[in-house]
C-alpha cells in the first residue's frame, strides 16, 4: 500500500472488526465520552444539578455539563461527609471511586461506604439518582475469558449497602469492557443477559463459553465492570 | 418515572400496537456503544465521531424485538437512512426485505427504531453454505436489493439521469486516489478501460450491500443500512460489492491472510466459475453487455476505494481495496483480459 495512503488513514486505524465476544477481550472502537451514555438509562425526575464525587479531581465534568445545567465536584479524599444541604442534587456520581476509597481507608467496605451512601441519599432530591460504577475503569489488559474468570478482581457489589441507605430501587447493569468506554451496558437480570447472548450469537455465531457463563450465573467473567443506579 | 430513552420512545407507535415507552428498565440495553450522545462537535479525522450507540429492546420473555440506532441529531446519514427505510418498509412488496422502521429527533439525539430481525448475519453464513446454497442465497439477496432500489426510484422525488458514462463517475475518485498516493501506473490502465466503456443505463444502488448488512431469519433475506442508497447509480455496483466480499469470506484463511478478489477469480475454481455465472446473469437481467460490465467493475473498484478514503475509513478496510485496485490495474497493463477473469464464457 502506498505510503501516502497509509499515512492518510493510519491515525484512525480503529479496528472495527474486533469484536468484544472473541476469544480474548479486545478493544472496541469506542470514542472518548461514550461512558456517559448511561445517562440515557437513568430515571431522573429532573435534570438540573449534579454532583460528581471523586478522590483527587473531576473526570466527568465536561460530559455531565452536556446533560445538567449545574455540575459540581467534591473530593471525598478527606472524608465521606458532604458539605451540602439536603435534597440539593438530581444526580450524584461515584465513577470508579469506591474501590479506591476502601483501599485507601484500609477498613471494611461497609464501614467506609455506608456513611458515604447515607450522605449521598441525603443530598439527593426525591426521585434523584446515585450512579455507582465499580470494576475496571479503563480498558483492561488483554486476557482470556478464563483468566478474567479466575484471576481478575471482581467489581465491588454494594447493592445491599445502597438499600440500607434508603434507596428504594437499585438497578444494576453489567458493563463491558470498562466504565470509561463501555461497549455494552446490560441490565443484570437473567432475561437481559440471555438476550444479549442471543443477539451476539446472531451477529457472530454461537459462543458456547459465553452462554455457559451466563447460564451458570458467572456473567461477571464476561463483564469487567458494573453500574448501580440507586433511586432516592 | 421514565428514562429519557423511554420518554423518547413513548412517542413512537410500534407495529404491535404498543408505544415504545412500555418497556421496563431491564428490557432496555445499550450495545455497540462507540460514541457519546450528545456528540462532541467533532473529533478531527475520526470517522466515528458522530456515531453513538444502539439500544436493544426486549419483550417480557427477554426476546429482542426492536433495535434503535441513537446518534447525534446532526448525523445526516442516519436521518436520510431513517427516511428511506420508513418509506420503503411501508411498501408491501418489500414487506420481507426491509424491517419496519421509524424515527424521532430532538435537539440532543436522533433515534431510529426498527424491528429486530432474530436471525443470523449473512457474514456468519457465507463460509458455511454449500456452493449451490450460496449461489441461491446471492440470487435471492440481489432480487431483494434490486426491488428496494427500483421501488426507491419510483417513490422518491429525485430526478435521475437515464444514462451515465463510467469515466464521468470515476473521474473525481481517480483524482483523489492519485493524490492519496495510489500508483499512476495502476490507475492509468483502469482509466483507459473506463474510457472505452460505452454509456450504461443509470440504476440506483444500495451502495453498501455486503454480508454484514444482510440478515437471514430462516425464511427471508433482510437488508439493512440504507445510508448510501442512491449515492451511486453505476449498474452492478451492488452485485460486485456483494460478490467480492462473499468470495473473500469463502477464501478466508485460518492464518488471516486474504487474497484479492482478482486472485480468487483468476484461479478458475468452482467458486470463481459460479461467481462469473452470477455476474453474467445479473448483467443480463439489467441489459448490460460484457464490455459495459467490465467498465462498471472498474468504476466500482475506483468508486468504492475513493469513497472509503473520503470517509476516512479504517486503514484495514481501505488497504484491501487499494490492493485490489492495484492488482487489477497492473493486470490490465500486462494484457490480462478482465472479461476472461470476471465474466468468462
Q: What would the pLDDT profile of A47-106 be if each residue is shown by its tens digit?
A: 999 999 999 899 998 889 989 999 999 999 888 899 999 999 999 999 999 999 998 888
Determine the distance in angstroms separating the CA of B293 from the nearest CA of chain A, rounded to an integer: 27
> Do B183 and A2 make contact, defined as CB atoms within 8 angstroms?
yes
Determine the distance in angstroms separating the CA of B25 from the nearest CA of chain A, rounded to an integer: 8
The pLDDT value given to residue A5? 42
> Do A13 and B318 make contact, defined as CB atoms within 8 angstroms?
no
Q: What is the H or E stretch that residue B297 is in?
A: helix B290-310
Cell numbers for B148: 428496494
Question: Within this chain, do residues B29 and B67 fall inside the same structural domain, yes or no?
Answer: yes
Question: Within this chain, do residues B270 and B164 fall inside the same structural domain, yes or no?
Answer: yes
CB under 8 Å, gap of 24 or more: what pairs does B9-13 form?
A: B9/B57, B9/B68, B9/B104, B9/B111, B9/B113, B11/B104, B12/B102, B12/B104, B12/B113, B13/B102
What is the pLDDT confidence band of residue A1, given thresholds at 50, 70 and 90? Answer: very low
Average pLDDT value over all residues in chain B = 92
How far is CA B333 from each of CA A2, B264, B287, B344, rounded to the nearest angstrom? 19, 19, 28, 19
SS3 at position A118: helix
What tens digit of pLDDT does each residue of B37-88 get? 987 766 555 566 568 999 999 999 999 999 999 999 988 899 999 999 999 9
The pLDDT value given to residue A135? 92
* Interface residue A28 vs chain B (CB under 8 A): yes
pLDDT above 90 (res B98): yes
Task: Select the residue of B48, B55, B120 nearest A202 (Cβ to Cβ).
Answer: B120
ipTM of the complex: 0.90
Cα B181–B187–B192 angle (5° rounding)?
160
Question: Within this chain, do residues B72 and B211 fall inside the same structural domain, yes or no?
Answer: no
Residues 278-337 of chain B whose Cβ lies under 8 A from any Cβ of chain A: 309, 312-319, 322-323
CATH classification at residue B326: 3.90.1200
Burial profile A152-165: b = 16 or more Cβ within 10 angstroms, e = fewer? beebbebbebbeeb
Instruction: Name the pTM for this structure.
Output: 0.89
Query: CA torsion, points A111, A116, A119, A123, in degrees to nearest 10?
Result: -160
SS3 at position A135: strand
C-alpha B106, offset from chain centre: 28
SS3 at position A73: strand
The pLDDT value given to residue A18? 33
Identify all chain B residues contacting A190, using CB atoms and an 8 Å cutoff. Answer: 62
The pLDDT value given to residue B19? 82
The better pLDDT of the pair B246, A156 is held by B246
pLDDT above 50 (res B4): yes
Cα B225–B228–B229 angle (5° rounding)?
90
Whole-angstrom distance, CA of residue A99 vs CA of residue A105:
10
The DSSP code sequence of B59-87 is: -TTS-EEEEEEEE-TT-HHHHHHHHHHHH
The pLDDT value given to residue B46? 58
The pLDDT value given to residue A147? 62
Q: What percent of chain B has pLDDT over 70?
A: 96
Question: Within this chain, do residues B83 and B196 fall inside the same structural domain, yes or no?
Answer: no
What average pLDDT does this structure show over B80-100? Answer: 96
Question: Within this chain, do residues B149 and B18 fall inside the same structural domain, yes or no?
Answer: no
Average pLDDT value over all residues in chain A = 84
Cell numbers for A142: 488483554
What is the pLDDT confidence band of residue A33, given thresholds at 50, 70 and 90? Answer: confident
What is the pLDDT confidence band of residue A220, given thresholds at 50, 70 and 90? Answer: confident
Euclidean distance between the first and the last CA atom of chain B, given in angstroms as a whole number? 67
Of B70, B92, B116, the domain-final residue: B116
Q: What percent of chain A has pLDDT over 70?
A: 81
Q: Which domain holds residue B276?
A: 121-343
Question: Within this chain, do residues B129 and B89 fall inside the same structural domain, yes or no?
Answer: no
The DSSP code sequence of B212-274 is: GGEEE-SS-EEE---TTTTT---TTHHHHHHHHHHHHHHT--TT-----HHHHHHTT-HHHHH
Which of the given ranges, A13-17, A129-133, B33-37, B160-164, has the highest pLDDT on average?
A: A129-133
What average pLDDT does this structure show over A32-59? Answer: 93
Whole-angstrom distance, CA of residue B86 vs CA of residue B98:
9
- Mutual orientation of helices B166-180 and B184-196 as an angle, nearest 10°? 180
What average pLDDT does this structure show over B188-208? Answer: 96
Of B84, B116, B148, the domain-final residue: B116
Whole-angstrom distance, CA of residue B234 vs CA of residue B160:
12
> Do B3 and A6 make contact, defined as CB atoms within 8 angstroms?
no
CATH classification at residue B71: 3.30.200
Question: Within this chain, do residues B97 and B134 fall inside the same structural domain, yes or no?
Answer: no
- Mutual orientation of helices A190-204 and A208-215 as an angle, nearest 10°? 180
Question: Within this chain, do residues B198 and B91 fall inside the same structural domain, yes or no?
Answer: no
SS3 at position A108: coil
The pLDDT value given to residue B23? 92
Question: Within this chain, do residues B105 and B133 fall inside the same structural domain, yes or no?
Answer: no
Give the number of beta-carbon pairs within 8 Å between A and B. 176
Determine the distance in angstroms separating the CA of B167 from the nearest CA of chain A, rounded to an integer: 22
- A221: DSSP letter: G
Cell numbers for B246: 462473499
Of B72, B89, B116, the domain-final residue: B116
Euclidean distance between the first and the last CA atom of chain A, given in angstroms as a whole number? 58
The pLDDT value given to residue A19? 33
pLDDT above 70 (res A7): no
Comparing CA positions, the residue from A224, A139, A209, A134 lying closest to residue A170 is A134
Dihedral sign of CA atoms B96, B84, A14, B54 in order = negative
pLDDT above 90 (res A156): no
What is the pLDDT confidence band of residue A14, given thresholds at 50, 70 and 90? Answer: very low
Identify all chain A residues contacting B214, using CB atoms and an 8 Å cutoff. Answer: none
What average pLDDT does this structure show over B286-310? Answer: 95
Residues 33-52 of chain B whose Cβ lies under 8 A from any Cβ of chain A: 33-38, 40, 43, 45-49, 51-52
* Interface residue B26 vs chain A (CB under 8 A): yes
Whole-angstrom distance, CA of residue B14 vs CA of residue B20:
7
Task: Select the residue of A6, A16, A36 nearest B36 (Cβ to Cβ).
Answer: A36
The better pLDDT of the pair B342, A147 is held by B342
Number of structural domains (chain B) is: 2
The pLDDT value given to residue B21? 79
pLDDT above 90 (res A145): no
What is the pLDDT confidence band of residue B160, given thresholds at 50, 70 and 90? Answer: low
What is the pLDDT confidence band of residue A138, given thresholds at 50, 70 and 90? Answer: confident
> Do B52 and A37 make contact, defined as CB atoms within 8 angstroms?
yes
Whole-angstrom distance, CA of residue A223 vs CA of residue A69:
32
Residues 82-101 of chain A whose Cβ lies under 8 A from any Cβ of chain B: none
Q: What percent of chain B has pLDDT over 90?
A: 81
> Do A8 and B5 make contact, defined as CB atoms within 8 angstroms?
no
The pLDDT value given to residue A32? 75
Whole-angstrom distance, CA of residue A25 vs CA of residue B216:
28
What is the pLDDT confidence band of residue B29, given thresholds at 50, 70 and 90? Answer: very high
Question: Within this chain, do residues B137 and B50 fall inside the same structural domain, yes or no?
Answer: no
Question: Within this chain, do residues B316 and B181 fall inside the same structural domain, yes or no?
Answer: yes
Determine the distance in angstroms separating the CA of B342 from the nearest CA of chain A, rounded to an integer: 24
Question: Within this chain, do residues B243 and B292 fall inside the same structural domain, yes or no?
Answer: yes
Cell numbers for B99: 424491517
Q: What percent of chain A has pLDDT over 90?
A: 62
The pLDDT value given to residue B333? 95
Interface with B, mutate which of A2, A10, A31 (most B CBs under 10 A)? A31
Amino acid at each position: 500500500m502506498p505510503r501516502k495512503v497509509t499515512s492518510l488513514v493510519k491515525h484512525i486505524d480503529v479496528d472495527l472488526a474486533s469484536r468484544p465476544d472473541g476469544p480474548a477481550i479486545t478493544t472496541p472502537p469506542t470514542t472518548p465520552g461514550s461512558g456517559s451514555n448511561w445517562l440515557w438509562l437513568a430515571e431522573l425526575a429532573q435534570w438540573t444539578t449534579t454532583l460528581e464525587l471523586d478522590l483527587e479531581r473531576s473526570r466527568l465534568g465536561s460530559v455531565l455539563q452536556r446533560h445538567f445545567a449545574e455540575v459540581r465536584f467534591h473530593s471525598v479524599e478527606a472524608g465521606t461527609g458532604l458539605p451540602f444541604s439536603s435534597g440539593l442534587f438530581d444526580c450524584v456520581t461515584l465513577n470508579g471511586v469506591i474501590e479506591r476509597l476502601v483501599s485507601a481507608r484500609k477498613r471494611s467496605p461497609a464501614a467506609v461506604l455506608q456513611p458515604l451512601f447515607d450522605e449521598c441519599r441525603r443530598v439527593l432530591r426525591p426521585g434523584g439518582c446515585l450512579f455507582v460504577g465499580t470494576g475496571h475503569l479503563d480498558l483492561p489488559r488483554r486476557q482470556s475469558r478464563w483468566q478474567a474468570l479466575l484471576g481478575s478482581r471482581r467489581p465491588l457489589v454494594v447493592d445491599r449497602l445502597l438499600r440500607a441507605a434508603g434507596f428504594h430501587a437499585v438497578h444494576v447493569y453489567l458493563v463491558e469492557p470498562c466504565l470509561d468506554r463501555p461497549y455494552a451496558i446490560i441490565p443484570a437480570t437473567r432475561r437481559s443477559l440471555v438476550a444479549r447472548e442471543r443477539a451476539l450469537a446472531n451477529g457472530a455465531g454461537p459462543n458456547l463459553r459465553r452462554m455457559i457463563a451466563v447460564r451458570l450465573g458467572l456473567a461477571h467473567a464476561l463483564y469487567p465492570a458494573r453500574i448501580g443506579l440507586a433511586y432516592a | 418515572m421514565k428514562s429519557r430513552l423511554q420518554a423518547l420512545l413513548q412517542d413512537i407507535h410500534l407495529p404491535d400496537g404498543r408505544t415504545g415507552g412500555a418497556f421496563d428498565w431491564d428490557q432496555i440495553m445499550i450495545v455497540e456503544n462507540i460514541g457519546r450522545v450528545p456528540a462532541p462537535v467533532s473529533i478531527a479525522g475520526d470517522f466515528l465521531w458522530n456515531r453513538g450507540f444502539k439500544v436493544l429492546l426486549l419483550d417480557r420473555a427477554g426476546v429482542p424485538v426492536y433495535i434503535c440506532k441513537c446518534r447525534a441529531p446532526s448525523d445526516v446519514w442516519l436521518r436520510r437512512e431513517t427516511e428511506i427505510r420508513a418509506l420503503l418498509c411501508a411498501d408491501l412488496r418489500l414487506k420481507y426485505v426491509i424491517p419496519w422502521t421509524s424515527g424521532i429527533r430532538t435537539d440532543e439525539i436522533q433515534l431510529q427504531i426498527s424491528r429486530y430481525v432474530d436471525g443470523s448475519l449473512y457474514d456468519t453464513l457465507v463460509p458455511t453454505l454449500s456452493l449451490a446454497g450460496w449461489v441461491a442465497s446471492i440470487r435471492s439477496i440481489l432480487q431483494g436489493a434490486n426491488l428496494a432500489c427500483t421501488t426507491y426510484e419510483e417513490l422518491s422525488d429525485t430526478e435521475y439521469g437515464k444514462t451515465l458514462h463510467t469515466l464521468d463517475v470515476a473521474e473525481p475518485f481517480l483524482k483523489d486516489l492519485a493524490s492519496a498516493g495510489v500508483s499512476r501506473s495502476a490507475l492509468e490502465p483502469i482509466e483507459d478501460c473506463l474510457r472505452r466503456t460505452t454509456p450504461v443505463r443509470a440504476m440506483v444502488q444500495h451502495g453498501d450491500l455486503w454480508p454484514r448488512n444482510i440478515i437471514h431469519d430462516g425464511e427471508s433475506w433482510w437488508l439493512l443500512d440504507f445510508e448510501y442508497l442512491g449515492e451511486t447509480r453505476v449498474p452492478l455496483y451492488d452485485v460486485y460489492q456483494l460478490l467480492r466480499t462473499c468470495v473473500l469470506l469463502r477464501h478466508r484463511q485460518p492464518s488471516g491472510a486474504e487474497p484479492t478478489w482478482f486472485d480468487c477469480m483468476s484461479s478458475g475454481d468452482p467458486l470463481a466459475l459460479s461467481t462469473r455465472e452470477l455476474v453474467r446473469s445479473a448483467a443480463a437481467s439489467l441489459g448490460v453487455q460484457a464490455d459495459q460490465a467490465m467498465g462498471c467493475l472498474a468504476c466500482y473498484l475506483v468508486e468504492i476505494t475513493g469513497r472509503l478514503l473520503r470517509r476516512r475509513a479504517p486503514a484495514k478496510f481501505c488497504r484491501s481495496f487499494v490492493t485490489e485496485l492495484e492488482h487489477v490495474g497492473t493486470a490490465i497493463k500486462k494484457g490480462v483480459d478482465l472479461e476472461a477473469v470476471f465474466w468468462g464464457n
